[in-house]
Chain A
Amino acid sequence: MAIADDVSFDTVNKIVSRSGSPSSTVYSVNALYSYVMDYFDELGLMDDTVPMSAQTPTSYTMISGWYIQEELTQFLDGGAIQTSGYLDEIHVLTLDGTYTNAVAGDIGKQVTDDSSEIGALLDYNNTAQKWFIRVGSSTVIADNSVMAITAGTGAGDASGDSVTGEAVFANPYTLGALEGTPAIYIYQNGSPITSWWSDGPFDILLKVAEGGSDIDSKTITVTTRTWTDTYSTFEITLTTAGQNAVPLGTQDDLNNTNTEADVQDWAAANIGGDGTTYQIDIDFEFSSPFQYDIGDGNGAQDYNVQIDCNGQTLDKVYEVCKWATRDGATGEKLETESDSNTINGEAYRYAKASYAEVTASPLGTFAGGKFFGARGVYFTNLHGDDAQNFQLIDANGVARFPPNYQAFTVGGVESGDRVAVFLAEAGAVKKDQYSLNGANALNTITVSSSIPADTPTTGTIIVVDDDSSETSYAYSSYSGSDFTVSISASVYSGTETAYVPYILEQASGTSVSETTTIYVSDRSVICRVRKKGILPFVTTGNYTSTGYAATAIRTTDSIVT
């Protein structure tokens, strides 16, 4: 069908609309304009005003008081339309009370305000209960006016005064690589817009101003969140004229492969899940943020979003996070900005607008077996295997990394072997690892520097006295610069040195490990394994971000008896 079959003009009421039985063809605004120009150049219409003007190939204006019905704008693309002449001419009225839907036959009929005819009905939106009336003056229709249509159907009461002013139909269009043909949805002023566009990339006209006022400053949020794909969201403030590109990009999400139904079973009821398999949950706190110490030595930090992993691995948690924010996640189960400010999961973008948005998955992404939490997100009840499989950004925007627990391990030993790993310097045991700090207090040995996190939580501190004699003390804990030992006060004056083996124990199996140590920086170490009956074994190496492992070579001592 040609555009002439799909667009009609009401020269009496100055309405451009879809024809009675239109096709679903979408025309460019330029095509509409061209048709308008062609239609109104006929001799029989020379007494009518021209409805449209063009400023650029993608910017057009409804002029001379002509009204374009909103339904028609849903079948246009490729340009924006603004109006010039709506002010003090066309009024927008929202109705309430016992609302009776207007019908197509009401168009052009007189609207009555408390039984007085005030102008023709140009358009209506029964969902929003809005009428568009050609009043032809600045006189508003007062709140609570009883509205009806002469010899028509629609009726209701005015909900507030009518407004008059220009309208803007902006023209957003998407670009970028999308996985498949995803559904793309728009939130405007906090509410979803019922889509009339097809799945996949779109090019649409969207009303961003009405009655002379911008709708949410002409800002919209365009989102696509298709299950098993990465998500994409773009917030844009649309312009009055021309086109507005909305960049979106999605791809197959290799970490999101379970079915929605399965993942729904993993999610707690609090976020809309069934919770029948697991109870992975999400909670929010803004006025009194959650406090969480990741163990990086910087103490507890603020977080706004707490994800209870329910002891499940982070790959499952990630899918629940995606499920909670997927297209179709409604019911206002998530919160943003402030306590109890609930929104639909499909509209959730961040804990706070000031936080950097993670569009691919708004609660955090998952890659290489590691969950990268969005700002303000942290985890509780992690699976045991995930102690280091995540990275956070606290509410203050500081990246937080879980402590890098890295073990010292010596293998190839037998039960009874004596095993030691010491900090080394120039291939020898570094016995001045610490300097003592003043006379020791009762049951405390204080060193002059902070004890690094790669120190075993319990172990042995060996004090080297001024005469180089050494005394070992088992410590039960340490904090700051203090080792807790069993010692009388003032045994040492503070001139002594001390060192702490990473391993100093007798093997009870085939290997010896120290797993409480947190990697701080590379350390040169020396490892010794001794047992009468084998030749003393010694090797040097480095403790790195992946730990330290040595394998002893047990060579029988053929001499000793």
Chain B
Amino acid sequence: MAITFDKLTKVIEIESPAIEVTIQDLVNAIRDWQDELDNIETPNILSAAGKEALGGGVSVGVTMTLLNGWKVAFQARAGPEYVQCTVSGGNLVSEDESNPIYPTAFTQIVVTASSSATTSGLFFLNSFSISSKLFFDM
């Protein structure tokens, strides 16, 4: 799965054909990208919190906050069919409380979110999470 960064539009794009990205994937990719000398002039993109151990191998889920207007997008598809894409494994929010997802053509983004997400048994937790689709059809 390739993730690209556009400094001008401040969009983090998950390239096709990937249809799912985890918060961990995003954190790793962002940290890796922004520590490059070519990108160090860019203000910080994210802060992330979580993973505090709860015991029994369970820990608090990750909440990733995009900073300075950055958003996440899945690469636009050719259509006409919509492709459902998923951001999973934690919470994705924006610093300014705007939608952290950047809309692209013929993609439908599902962002799992929870007020008490944990990282252990992710699929299980997802089933209990509050799901939302882009375009706010929650």
Contact = CB atoms under 8 A, between A and B. Distances in A.
Interface of A: 418, 420, 422, 428-429, 431, 462, 467-470, 472, 501, 504-506, 528, 530-533, 536, 538, 557-561
B44 A462 contact: no
Contacts of B43: 428, 538
Interface in B22-61: 24, 27-28, 31-32, 34-38, 40-41, 43-44, 48-51
B2 interface: no
B7 A470 contact: yes
A559 B50 CA distance: 7
7 contacts: A418-B36, A420-B37, A470-B41, A501-B41, A532-B32, A536-B44, A538-B44
Contacts, number: 59
A53 B64 CA distance: 109
Given A462-B41, A504-B37, A528-B40, A557 B31 contact: yes
| B-side interface mostly | loop
A532 B37 CA distance: 12
Contacts of B32: 532
Contacts of A506: 37
A533 B7 CA distance: 22
Given A532-B32, A559-B48, A559-B49, A467 B62 contact: no
Contacts of B24: 559, 561
B8 A504 contact: no
Contacts of B7: 468-470
A533 B27 CA distance: 11
Contacts of A422: 41
Nearest to B64: A559
Interface residues of B, number: 22
Pick the most buried of A418, A422, A428: most chain B CB atoms within 10 A of its CB: A418
A431 B34 CA distance: 18
Contacts of B35: 418, 530-532, 536
Contact of B38 (A472, A505, A532, A538): A472
Contacts of A530: 34-35, 40
Contacts of B44: 536, 538
A249 B77 CA distance: 92
Contacts of A468: 7-8
B28 A429 contact: no
Nearest to A532: B31
Contacts of A528: 40-41
A418 B28 contact: no
A183 B43 CA distance: 71
B37 A429 contact: no
Nearest to A464: B41
Nearest to B39: A530
A420 B41 contact: yes
Nearest to A501: B41
Contacts of A505: 37
Contacts of B27: 559-561
B36 A560 contact: no
Contacts of A558: 51
Contacts of B51: 558-559
Interface string B1-20: 00000011000000000000
Nearest to A427: B43
A560 B32 CA distance: 9
Contacts of A531: 35
Which 9 A/B pairs are nearest by Cβ-Cβ distance? A530-B35, A559-B48, A532-B31, A420-B40, A560-B31, A536-B44, A532-B32, A429-B41, A531-B35
A559 B41 contact: no
Contact of A467 (B8, B38, B50, B64): B8
Given A470-B41, A538-B43, 17 more contacts: A418-B35, A418-B37, A462-B41, A468-B8, A469-B8, A501-B41, A531-B35, A533-B31, A536-B44, A538-B44, A557-B48, A559-B24, A559-B27, A559-B48, A559-B49, A559-B62, A561-B24
Contacts of B38: 472
Contacts of B62: 559
A468 B51 CA distance: 37
